Amino acid sequence: MATKQNGKYTILICQGTGCVSSKSDRITQELENQIKQSGLSENVHVKLTGCHGFCQQGPIVIIEPEGVFYTQVTEEDVAEIIQSHIVDGKYLERLFYHNPVTSEAIPLYKDIPFYSRQHRLILRNCGHINPERIEDYLATDGYAALKRAIFEMEPTQIIEEINRSGLRGRGGAGFPTGKKWEEAHKAKEQPKYVVCNADEGDPGAFMDRSVLEADPHSVLEGMAIAGYAVGTPEGYIYVRAEYPLAVKRLRIAIAQAKEHKLLGSNIMGSGFNFDIEIMQGAGAFVCGEGSALMYSIEGKRGMPRVRPPRSVASGLWGKPTSLNNVKTYASVPLIINRGADWYTSIGTEGSKGTAVFALTGKIANSGLIEVPMGATLREVVFDIGGGVQEGKRFKAVQTGGPSGGCLPESALDLPIDFESLTKAGSMMGSGGMVVMDTDTCMVDLAHFFLKFCCNESCGKCVPCREGLPLMSKVLERITQGEGNAEDIEQLMDMGNTIIKGALCGLGTTAPNPVMSSIRYFRGEWEAHVIDKKCPALVCKALINFYILPDKCAGCGICLRACPVEAISGGKRMVHVIDQDKCIKCGTCLEKCPERFSAVVKVTGEQIAVPKEPVPIGADK
């Protein structure tokens, strides 16, 4: 990190996808212009970085050496930042981060609980280095592990070190990485391949994307070490085409590493060759599954096959292939540099190291976080995430995406590790963590995940292709208010059948969101099927909007906003919603001025209101 030298400043500006969406590129431009105009170019340096992880507060600007953290910066703020912070030496308080719970202003990066409670290993460089400059990575000991691996270690020693470290695959399944490398290393057949799985398809997750965008060299270095250990000169990165910025940064990184003789032929003069090719996925969730991913690289439909053989024996083009996740590779250089003993000191008995999560949903602090394995869900959701948004209550946390499950408040003290989460009915997953408050309907959410898996089923095996749509039909019925008491058991039954019968990981885990939801939130399911109520007021068929006659001021705002002209009324007349026409879009509730708050949303009850508009006060 930069230090203050004779009044010199470094302004770090985030160029991750989140902040770029919030126009951080324009801020960069403006910063550079203003610095030039003010004649400060000598002393003030603008540095682009990857994702800081706190995307919700973006665009984020950090000014070193002090480490002052400015949030939600706009183009218009730039002049004031330069004048106040740089010229006058006065921090700009209005752009500080404010603790959402206490409203306390926190000026320094290191003091913000979102960061201070984390343990950043995989994300070590994210937000601190310019991902488009290899010099930045080299300055953080980058490629030292590769050098060490090639010149001081035998492939078997590397594998031994990774085995001893207890590193497990960060893609979700948690297979021991060293064991995978060992099998690939021992495989006789040539050629072999190492492949990086960057097909982050879990909706609600962006960990891999952020690592690739913010610190691509850490992944390349890990892959090169794997290539050396496994004994192959060929690597592939399979990355989603939906991640154009990650692809761009990877391309730049590969080119720079080749220029520096850290990739390509004869790496650092050692005689070891290793090249990496980028393959862009084409939008199929199932391609996150190993065998499907490899078929996709080959240019085929990404349909999983029966295993065994496992891909370490017969993978890409039928050759031995070691497939690991982005975060697994990013962990490797650290283990080689600092040793397996150090790595095993972090985490739990069965799960070593750290876990990265994309913390999203109804949470105060959304963003990318990293904690040691064994930290509890409560620490992540409340200490780092700041809990749910103001005025709401925590309801559930979902991990593992469409393969995982929803855990209730009673599970919050579970340690985060591969075994505990699976035992509780969810799973580690690749790192999506979505928080729900009481406004989220668990039935609707389960339906959401199931529909997702229906759409993404490749169609090869019957349990998944036919079973998931059947489950979806039952769920559709339940959310329509046409469910019956037997539906719940039937869903569990169908889920168990699919789990037993489906071919690949997509199918065998797809019923999890439904089954874990029934396990922990049965009451809410019963409310839907028996009482025909949606307690979270989400399922449209089970809710109604009413305008309360004693509160309506007859202002006409809702009437004009209603997209289907379901509201009738007039000046100084109590407005009335035609329940037959209403599409339950909620626009009236949103638009009704707070001082009136005349629109209500209810489930399972009828509110007595006039049938036709009546003059205000007529009922009094």
Partner 1 sequence: MIGTTDLVRQIREILTPLQDRHVVLIPALQAVQEKFGYLPEVAMEEIGRVAGVSPNVVYGVASFYAQFRTTPVGKKHVAVCQGTACHVRGAARILEAIERALDIKAGETTPELGYSLETVACIGACALAPTLRINEETHGKLTTNDIEKLFPKTSKPEETPNS
Report if residue 414 touches partner 1, rule: CB under 8 A.
Answer: no
Residue 106 or 369 having the CB closest to partner 1: 369
Q: How many CB atoms neighbour CB 264 within 10 A?
A: 17
Stretch that binds partner 1, among 34-42, 362-370, 416-424, 490-498 (CB under 8 A): 362-370
Q: Select the span of 86-94, 364-372, 460-468, 609-617 touching partner 1 (CB under 8 A).
A: 364-372
Determine how many CB atoms are found less than 10 A away from the CB of residue 391: 6
Residue 518's nearest CA partner among 480, 481, 492, 556 is: 492
503 closest CA partner among 535, 468, 533, 553: 468
- Check binding of 452 to partner 1 (CB under 8 A): yes
Smallest CA-to-CA distance from 131 within 37, 4, 219 is with 219
Shortest Å, Cβ 313 to partner 1: 22
Where do we find the tokens 């064994």? Answer: 374
Q: CB 438 → partner 1: shortest distance, Å?
A: 12
CB within 8 Å of 575: residues ≥ 6 apart: 547, 552, 554, 556, 558, 559, 567, 568, 569, 598, 613
Residue choice 10, 17, 125, 314 for contact with partner 1 (CB under 8 A) = 17
> Nearest distance from residue 242's CB to partner 1, in Å?
6
Which member of 67, 107, 113, 204 binds partner 1 (CB under 8 A)? 204
Token pair in block for residue 398: 């979902």
- Please spell the DSSP secondary structure of 327-394, one letter per residue: HHHHHHHHHHHH-HHHHHTSB-SSSBSEEEEEEEESBSS-EEEEEETT-BHHIIIIIIT-SBPTT--E
Site for partner 1 in 547-606 (CB under 8 A): 563, 583, 585-587, 590
Candidates 223-231, 280-288, 465-473, 571-579 — which segment interacts with partner 1 by CB under 8 A?
A: 280-288
CA–CA dist 520, 43 (Å, integer): 58
- When asked if residue 434 is in the footprint of partner 1 (CB under 8 A), the reply is yes
- In the complex, minimum distance from the CB of residue 143 to partner 1, in angstroms, rounded to a whole number: 26
Residue of the chain from 18, 288, 408, 481 that contacts partner 1 (CB under 8 A): 18
Say whether residue 339 binds partner 1 (CB under 8 A).
Answer: no
Q: How far is the CB of 296 from partner 1 (least distance, A)?
A: 7
Our finding on whether 453 is near partner 1 (CB under 8 A) is: no
Minimum distance of partner 1 from residue 223's CB (angstroms): 17
Candidates 241-249, 422-430, 468-476, 550-558; binding stretch for partner 1 (CB under 8 A): 241-249
As a whole number of Å, the end-to-end CA separation of the chain is 69
Residue nearer to partner 1 on the CB measure, 197 or 348: 197
- DSSP per residue over 504-547, as a string? SHHHHHTTHHHHHHHHHHHHHHHHHHTS---TTS--GGGEEEEE
Phi-psi region of 586 (alpha: psi -120 to 50; beta: other; left: phi over 0): left
Residue span binding partner 1 (CB under 8 A) among the ranges 99-107, 181-189, 447-455, 521-529: 447-455
Piece in contact with partner 1 (CB under 8 A), picked from 377-385, 429-437, 470-478, 592-600: 429-437
Site string for partner 1, 282-321 (x = CB under 8 A): xxxx----------xxxxxxxx------------------
Residue nearer to partner 1 on the CB measure, 165 or 366: 366
Scanning 124-132, 354-362, 542-550, 567-575 for contacts with partner 1 by CB under 8 A, the matching segment is 354-362
Q: Measured from the CB atom, is 178 or 507 closer to partner 1?
A: 507
In eight-state DSSP terms, residue 310 is P
Q: Is 401 in the site for partner 1 (CB under 8 A)?
A: yes
CA pair distance 332, 121, nearest whole angstrom: 11
**Sign of the CA dihedral 142, 196, 400, 425?**
negative
- The C-alpha atoms of residue 482 and residue 97 are separated, in whole angstroms, by 47
Distance, in Å, from the CA atom of 534 to the CA atom of 519, rounded to the nearest integer, reads 18
Q: Which residues bind partner 1 (CB under 8 A)?
A: 17-18, 20-22, 54-56, 58, 200-206, 209, 241-243, 277, 279-285, 296-303, 358, 360-362, 366-368, 398, 401, 432, 434, 436, 440, 445, 448-449, 452, 456, 458, 563, 583, 585-587, 590
